Amino acid sequence: MSDSIRIFITGGTRGIGRAVALRFAREGAMVAIAARTSGELDAVVAEIEAAGGSGEACQANLRDHGSLEAAVFRAVDFFDGKIDVVVNNAGIVEFSEFEEVTLDAWERFLAVNMTGPYLVLAEAMPALRESDRAHVFNVGAQLAAAPEKGSALLAATKAGVAGLGRALHADLADDGIRITTVLPGPTDTPGLAPWKERFAGQKLSTPEAVADAIWDAYQNESAPLELPIE
Ligand SMILES: NC(=O)c1ccc[n+]([C@@H]2O[C@H](COP(=O)([O-])OP(=O)(O)OC[C@H]3O[C@@H](n4cnc5c(N)ncnc54)[C@H](OP(=O)(O)O)[C@@H]3O)[C@@H](O)[C@H]2O)c1
C-alpha cells in the first residue's frame, strides 16, 4: 500500500464525508476518518476496508483542540508520516432568520465550521508538506455566495471558509500544495434531513456526486480553487 493515497476526512461517518471516504477507498486509498461517534467510525472503517481501502478511526470533536490534535497525530502515524489529502468536511447545517440567531448558535457555528478547519490544517500542515501531491479540500457551500432567507449562520461561516481557501492558495500555491473550496448546493444527507422541506421541488445533489467531483479534482493537476457542485 506504499503508493496509496493518504487521505484524512473530518465528518467521515455520514453524508458527504462518508461518500468521499468510500470513493477514495475504491481507489485503494488509506483513509483516516474523524467524527465524534465511535460506533459510526468503526462501521465506516469496515465499509472502507470492504471497498478496497484501508481505514483508521480517529475520534475527535472539532470543538476540542486536544481531541483534534490527537486525531491528526493518530492519522499521521497510520500514514507513516505524510498526508496527501485533507478534506475539511465536518460542519453544521441549520437555518434560522437573523433575529432568531442566539450567541450560543453563532459561537457553535464559528467553532465547528471555521475554527475546526483552521485547527485541522494547523495540525496537519507538517505532514502535508511531506507529500509531493498535497491537496486540501475545504467544504464550503453555494449559499455563501447566494444566501437565502434564514442562512446567516451558514452563509457567514462558509464565506469564511471560502476566504480561508483563497488565502491558503496565496500562501501555499508556490509550495505545490493545492487548495480547493468545494461548494455543494443542497445535498441529500442526514445533516440536511431536518431542513429538506425548504428545498421541496428543488433537485438535491447526492453525497456521491460531491465525492466524485472531489476525486476528479484530485486527479486534475490544475484543479479549480473553487468547485461548485450542482
Ligand atoms: N447537506 C447539504 O445540503 C450541504 C450543503 C452545503 C454544504 N454542506 C456542508 O457539507 C459538509 C457535510 O455536510 P453533510 O450534510 O454531509 O453533514 P452530515 O450528514 O450532518 O454529517 C456530518 C458529519 O460531521 C461530523 N461532525 C459534526 N459535528 C462534528 C464535530 N463537532 N466534531 C467532529 N465531527 C463532527 C458528524 O459525525 P458526529 O456527529 O459523530 O461527530 C458527521 O460525520 C458540512 O460542512 C456542511 O456544512 C452541506
CA 150 to centroid of ligand 1, rounded, Å: 18
The 3-state DSSP class for residue 204 equals coil
Residue 162 has pLDDT above 60, yes or no: yes
Atom 7 of ligand 1 has which residue's CA nearest to it? 141
User: What is the per-residue pLDDT for 74?
Assistant: 98
Closest of 23, 27, 1, 26 to residue 12, by C-alpha:
23
Count CB neighbours of 167 within 10 A: 11
Q: Is residue 204 part of a domain?
A: yes
Q: Is residue 38 part of a domain?
A: yes
Residues 6+ apart with CB under 8 A from 31: 7, 9, 12, 21, 24, 25, 48, 53, 54, 55, 56
Closest of 216, 151, 145, 213 to residue 182, by C-alpha:
213
User: Lowest-pLDDT range, 32-36, 119-123, 226-230?
Assistant: 226-230
Residue 76 has pLDDT above 90, yes or no: yes
- Residues 13-34 have pLDDT tens digits of 999 999 999 999 999 999 999 9
Q: Is residue 1 part of a domain?
A: no
Instruction: State the total domains in the chain.
Output: 1
Q: Is residue 86 part of a domain?
A: yes
- Ligand 1 atom index nearest CA of 187: 3
- DSSP string computed for 116-152: HHHHHHHHHHHHHHT-SS-EEEEE--GGGTS--TT-H
Residue 1 has pLDDT above 50, yes or no: no
For 1, what's the count of Cα atoms within 13 Å in the CB-facing half-sphere?
Answer: 16
Q: Is residue 206 part of a domain?
A: yes
Q: How confident is the model at residue 2 (pLDDT cuts 50, 70, 90)?
A: low
Q: Is 141 in the pocket of ligand 1 (CB under 6 A)?
A: yes
CA 91 to centroid of ligand 1, rounded, Å: 4
The 3-state DSSP class for residue 179 equals strand
- Four-CA torsion 26, 93, 186, 215, nearest 10 degrees: -20
Mean pLDDT of 160-188: 97
Is the pTM higher than 0.95? The answer reads: yes
Instruction: Quote the domain boundaries for residue 45.
Output: 6-229
Mean pLDDT of 193-202: 94
Q: Is residue 140 part of a domain?
A: yes
Q: How confident is the model at residue 82 (pLDDT cuts 50, 70, 90)?
A: very high
Cell of 188: 441529500
- Ligand 1 atom index nearest CA of 36: 41
CA 16 to centroid of ligand 1, rounded, Å: 7
Q: Is residue 77 part of a domain?
A: yes
Looking only at the bridges linking them, the beta strands covering 178-184 and 135-139 are parallel
Instruction: For residues 120 and 88, give the distance between their C-alpha atoms in angstroms, rounded to a whole number.
Output: 8
CATH number of the domain encompassing residue 199? 3.40.50.720
Mean pLDDT of 154-165: 98
CB neighbour class for 175 (10 Å; exposed up to 12, middle 13-18, buried from 19):
exposed
What do you get for the CA distance between the two ends of the chain, in Å? Answer: 34
Q: Is there a contact between 37 and 47 (Cβ–Cβ < 8 Å)?
A: no
User: What is the per-residue pLDDT for 230?
Assistant: 79
Instruction: For residues 92 and 95, give the distance between their C-alpha atoms in angstroms, rounded to a whole number.
Output: 10
- Ligand 1 atom index nearest CA of 195: 3
| pLDDT higher at 183 or 230 | 183
| pLDDT higher at 222 or 207 | 207
